[in-house]
Amino acid sequence: MTSRSKTERKLGLFDCIEAPCVDRCAVNQKVPQYMNAVRDGEFDEAVRLTLADNPLASTLGRVCDHLCETTCIRTHLDEPLAIRDIKRFIMEREKHNGAGELVQAKKLKVAIIGAGPGGMAAASELAAAGCEVDIFEMHDYAGGMVGGAIPEFRLPRATFNRDLERLEKLGVRIHFGVKAGRDIHLSRLRGEGYDQVIIMAGAQLGKKLGLEGEDAAGVMDALYFLRRAREGRPAAIGKRVGIIGAGDTAMDCARTAWRQSDSQVSVIYRRSIDQMPADREEVALLTEEGVQVVEMAKPQTLLVEDGKLRALKCRRMEFRGQRDASGRKVPFEVPGDDFEVALDTLILAISQHAILDFFDEEPIATNRWGYIEADPDTFETSVDGVYAGGDVVNDGPSSIVEAVADGRAIAAAILARQPAGADTVVTFDTRELLRKRSIRQWRVPVPHTPLDERNNFNEVVQTYSEHQAQVEAGRCLDCHQYCSLCVGVCPNLALQTWQTPPYSLDLPRLKLGSGGIETGPARKWSVEQAYQIAVVTDLCNECGNCTTFCPTAGEPYRDKPRLYLDQAEFEAQQDNAFMVFGDAGKWSMAARWQGITHRIELNGRLDYRGPLFNARLDPDTFAIDLIEATESIREGDELSLEPAAVMFVLLRGLMQSLPYLPVALPPETADAGRVAHPGYVE
């Protein structure tokens, strides 16, 4: 579980505190904030916080893949927070689903092809900003697979409708029964005055196995089967039903078939059950309901008699110790070890692909898999003003929450909005937080409908009570405010937490001109978080514990400021090396960048000495009192005060918050480079 608990976020010298659940969430939902609101009984505020980032919050409170929970810090202590279930609780306390305050209308008209979760999310963001939005949807309902295929026992229609009603109250128009390629084309939309077009058509066509006999009676596509069930017109199935696949769609098919009849239902999978990509909870419910999983079985042939399916011939698979790039075990065929699974109904739930036949003459680029190539940040296609997201772009089918994230990103690109500013930092009790981390507190069990009451399409997973939700939300460890996991797991105390006030400095751009060093426009440089990490290298044996538990993709013992006590070892470093000197109230620091030493001294003022220039700076504002070039500088060289800023923040923070830290004697003393006397007398 540890490898799954790490995110892809990089680790730098400063400001590494960020809740990993937020980091892993595709829409960057402010999870700790809404957890705190629920814990404190502020449910209206919890609703506001949730909807601020998530226009389909009611839906995702039920069917999000909730990968955020795998990165929860409590994974290392007891059990991750029930993040999705708390979101569900919050959205059931939404008192009204009005549109809120609308901004002044923008003269921007946008067409969206597809009313799935991605299209709905883009429409919500654009309409809230005052744009005129039309969605064109081929079905007579919105939501794509969400609205038309996810079973009622997982997502009641009334729950999805709350998100849809919120969208309609924003003024979004949805045109149902309009099929792209038949009723509309890109060229027509652009000719009708739409400034931007968004393609969110989804992957609506199920993939086949590529085996002979797939057209036989009794073989059907998962989406067809689920849509018929959702519409109340269930497809006819036999007494022996098999499902090929291992994702959430396969689980939905199996559990739906189990409810529709007294059929024997089995899921056929070429790996073992623990390797299934489906939600762990869905797999647990599947087995609890008595659905059989035929593991390590690869379909070989469909056995057909008189045009009807009779059985599926499979080959036994085995693991041989190899894993793929994602970490999953690689299965290998066992030659000659074939067996039959008797079936009269086979549902194919292996994946879907998109139908993109409405481009006309528009030169929209696609990749070798047939999906649209789109910019990974803005989602703009090769045609100006045409965007694409969700299942139709780049790598193909994505999750519901990823489609919502794509829609929001496209809307942001169209509106040319900048990310919101940092949240206001609030005070909190560090000791109380550390106390909470020291005590195991298991997750509040999510209530479920009893097994003997599930022979219907009523919802299985139930909502927390108010008390249960507040207790569960109270387990949150406020990782957006304090982390220091690396400090707690370091056996040698080599990693230390130090504190600093926030700094926001305007660092002028410097360049040597004909008349001396010239200043240009300033750029912002800041350190925003109160708690930082440093590494005392003399105590570090590079065991890697900090890397294992750090929620980022970094290595704290390498990436955080590395403090040295030995002069020779310090000078052997190329980068990220710092040495603190202190004696009789006089403090200074040396640092290494690109194999060159920089120095600062703090003694009522800030003096900086670098390879190209020396400067005297105001330590509060970094205003330049005096600056002079060294002999190494050449005209036109660009200079930076960032090394001085980094050393200043680090040195002052260490001085004020870690006075016990061992330091070296100043360079000008006879014992320069030796560890300073700690101040006691033997």
Q: Produce one character per residue of 382-402: b if its CB has 16 or more CB atoms within 10 Å, e if not.
A: ebeebbbbbbbbbebbbbbbb
Band (679; pLDDT cuts 50, 70, 90) = very low
Name the CATH topology of 109-205+353-415.
FAD/NAD(P)-binding domain (3.50.50)
Question: What per-residue confidence (pLDDT) applies to 328?
Answer: 87
What count of residues does the chain have?
Answer: 682
Is residue 186's pLDDT more than 60? Answer: yes
Is residue 103's pLDDT more than 60? Answer: no
Is residue 104's pLDDT more than 80? Answer: no
CB 364 within 8 A of CB 351: no
**Cα–Cα distance, 611 to 662 (Å, whole number):** 27
| Average pLDDT value for residue range 11-18 | 96
3-state SS string over 173-213?
A: EEEECCCECCCECHHHHHHCCCCEEEECCCCCEECCCCCCC
**Cα–Cα distance, 433 to 530 (Å, whole number):** 15
Is residue 650's pLDDT more than 70? Answer: yes
| Average pLDDT value for residue range 577-602 | 90
* CATH architecture label of 215-350: 3-Layer(bba) Sandwich (3.50)
Amino acid type, 170: L
Is residue 28's pLDDT more than 80? Answer: yes
Q: pTM (2 decimals)?
A: 0.88
- Per residue in 481-491, pLDDT (tens digit) is 999 999 999 99
Question: What per-residue confidence (pLDDT) applies to 673?
Answer: 55
**Cα–Cα distance, 180 to 358 (Å, whole number):** 6
Question: What per-residue confidence (pLDDT) applies to 424?
Answer: 43
Question: What per-residue confidence (pLDDT) applies to 102?
Answer: 54
Domain-by-domain residue ranges, the chain? 18-95+421-473, 109-205+353-415, 215-350, 485-657
Question: What per-residue confidence (pLDDT) applies to 85?
Answer: 98
| Average pLDDT value for residue range 593-616 | 92
CB 510 within 8 A of CB 537: no
Contacts of 460 (CB under 8 A, 6+ apart): 153, 154, 285, 448, 449, 454
Question: What per-residue confidence (pLDDT) applies to 250?
Answer: 96
Is residue 680's pLDDT more than 80? Answer: no
Where is mean pLDDT largest: 343-347, 389-393, 398-402?
343-347
Question: What per-residue confidence (pLDDT) applies to 420?
Answer: 40
- Per residue in 303-335, pLDDT (tens digit) is 999 999 999 999 999 999 999 988 889 999 999
Is residue 427's pLDDT more than 60? Answer: no
Mean pLDDT of the chain: 89
Band (565; pLDDT cuts 50, 70, 90) = very high
Same fold flag, 18-95+421-473 and 109-205+353-415? no
What number of other Cβ atoms are within 10 A of residue 181's Cβ?
Answer: 16
Band (371; pLDDT cuts 50, 70, 90) = confident
The fraction of the chain above a pLDDT of 90, given in percent, is 70
CATH ID of 18-95+421-473, from 1.10.10.60, 3.40.1350.10, 1.10.340.30, 1.10.1060.10: 1.10.1060.10
Q: What are phi and psi of 101, to 5 degrees?
A: -80, 120
Q: How far apart are the first and last CA of the chain?
A: 50
Query: β-strand 264-268 against 219-221: which pairing, if any?
Result: unpaired
- Per residue in 441-454, pLDDT (tens digit) is 999 999 999 999 99
| Average pLDDT value for residue range 400-411 | 94
Is residue 514's pLDDT more than 80? Answer: no
Question: What per-residue confidence (pLDDT) applies to 664?
Answer: 80
Question: What per-residue confidence (pLDDT) applies to 668?
Answer: 61
Question: What per-residue confidence (pLDDT) applies to 423?
Answer: 46
| Average pLDDT value for residue range 556-569 | 96
Query: β-strand 205-206 against 219-221: which pairing, if any?
Result: unpaired
Question: What per-residue confidence (pLDDT) applies to 1?
Answer: 44
Lowest mean pLDDT among 82-86, 111-115, 178-182, 545-549: 178-182
Question: What per-residue confidence (pLDDT) applies to 418?
Answer: 37
Is residue 675's pLDDT more than 90? Answer: no
**Rounded alpha-carbon distances, angstroms, from residue 238 to 257, 287, 309:** 10, 20, 10
Question: What per-residue confidence (pLDDT) applies to 419?
Answer: 40
